[in-house]
Amino acid sequence: MVEYASVVYLNDLDSLVAWNCTRCNNLTKGFQLVELIVDLQHCLQAFVGVAEDLHGIVIAFRGTQKNSIQNWMEDLYYRRLDLRYPGVKGAMVHRGFYTAYHNTTLRPRIVTTVLGILESINGLSVYVTGHSMGGALAAFCSLDLVANHGIQNIRTVTFGQPRIGNIVFAEFFNSLVPQTYRMTHEHDMVPHLPPYYSLFPHRSFHHFGREVWIHKVENESQSYDVETVCDGSGEDPTCSRSVAGNSIPDHLCYMGLSLQADTWSPCSFILTNNENMTIETEDGFIIKMPLLLEAQAEVQDPNGPQLF
């Protein structure tokens, strides 16, 4: 999944649509892009497609731009739980992340596209991923697809994701989207934000589970990366919470892949090839691609490809 979380950062949309970018290789070969959503007003980007090797739909969300990440993290430090999550008593969430998914172009386009693919091809799993703010959007998307649209077999993998709700919300999320891995890396700052206060769990932000902490282990002769699968609490004190969250470089690189755009400018995208169906929206535009896979009835092998 980390390859898709990296690819969605690209602002060269021609190479993304053609799927011939330098990042569009290795585990993403054979992926068929179905829809690319670009919201210029809110500077959001996501895509939906089908991965034959996973026998599944992949939804990927772009994260925060590097040139604004420091200000964004400072804002997160002081952010409060400021929105009641609909239909769940006591559940509070981060308004900005919630509205970035629910109140923009992203949600209706993603839901419509996913439902359309599932009608065409039987037995597909749905994989949802994103990095940084994109991880927060991926979480809200996963929950939406299960709770409001009855889609089962959702598998979610996020990278360097901030906290998005309180403990009541986290428990609700865990119950509906149990096949979730929240990847953290060394001293990455963002998973430590907004702050968690163990003495006030219902008034504090609280991660959902399950965290997988990537960190280095050193001995006398070598240093190597270890993936520690943490407990299901979301706030395992022996994982990333055991170290200081003080690194931006650790946030921008996961599993050896860059999770940022190659070039940065405020909400800038390159698109010169308009042969595919491009639809202008109030906030940006959508690029639709034909779905070339034939309908299949097989359900994915549970012993098939790993999520990360």
Q: Is residue 298 part of a domain?
A: no
Report the Cα 257 to chain-centroid distance in Å.
15
232 DSSP assignment:
T
Question: In total, how many domains does the chain have?
Answer: 1
> What residue type is 234 in one-letter code?
G
Q: How much is the pLDDT for 224? A: 84
What does DSSP assign to residue 12? B
Task: Sort strands 44-51 and 31-39 into parallel, antiparallel or unpaired.
Answer: antiparallel
Residue 72's domain spans which residues? 2-288
Residue 293 lies in a domain: no
What are 165's two structure tokens?
């709700």
Evaluate whether residue 308 is within a structural domain: no
Q: What is the dihedral of CA 201, 195, 142, 28, to 10 degrees?
A: -140
The CATH number that applies at residue 163 is 3.40.50.1820
Residue 59 CB contacts under 8 Å (≥ 6 apart), including other chains: 46, 47, 48, 110, 114, 126, 127, 128, 129, 138, 141
pLDDT in tens, the chain (308 residues): 999 999 998 888 888 888 888 888 777 877 999 999 988 888 889 999 999 889 999 999 998 765 566 656 666 766 788 899 999 999 999 999 999 999 999 999 999 999 999 999 989 999 999 999 999 999 999 999 999 999 989 999 999 999 999 999 999 999 999 999 999 999 999 999 999 988 887 789 999 989 999 998 888 778 888 999 999 999 999 999 999 999 999 999 999 888 988 765 556 555 555 555 555 566 666 777 665 544 333 333 434 434 43
Q: What is the per-residue pLDDT for 208?
A: 96
Q: Which amino acid is at 258?
A: S
CA distances from 172 to 82, 86, 282 (A): 18, 12, 33
pLDDT at 294: 42
Tell whether 299 is covered by a domain.
no
Distance CA 188, CA 197 (A): 18
Using alpha carbons, select from 123, 209, 221 the residue that is nearest to residue 172: 209
Rounded Cα gap, residues 159 and 1, in angstroms: 9
Residue with the two structure tokens 């034959």:
52
Residue 304 lies in a domain: no
Q: Is 305 contained in some domain?
A: no
Q: Tell me, yes or no, whether 300 lies in a domain.
A: no
| Within a domain: 145 | yes
By three-state DSSP, how is residue 38 classified?
Answer: strand
d(CA 257, CA 35): 24
Residues 160/218, Cβ–Cβ less than 8 Å: no
Cβ count near 19 (within 10 Å): 18
- pLDDT for res 89: 94
Number of C-beta neighbours around residue 217 at 10 A: 10
DSSP state of 304: S
Give the pLDDT confidence score for residue 10 in this predicted structure. Answer: 87
Place of tokens 């990333």: 240
**The model's pTM:** 0.88
Structure-block tokens of residue 229: 């699968």
d(CA 263, CA 307): 28
Secondary structure of residue 168 in the 3-state scheme: helix
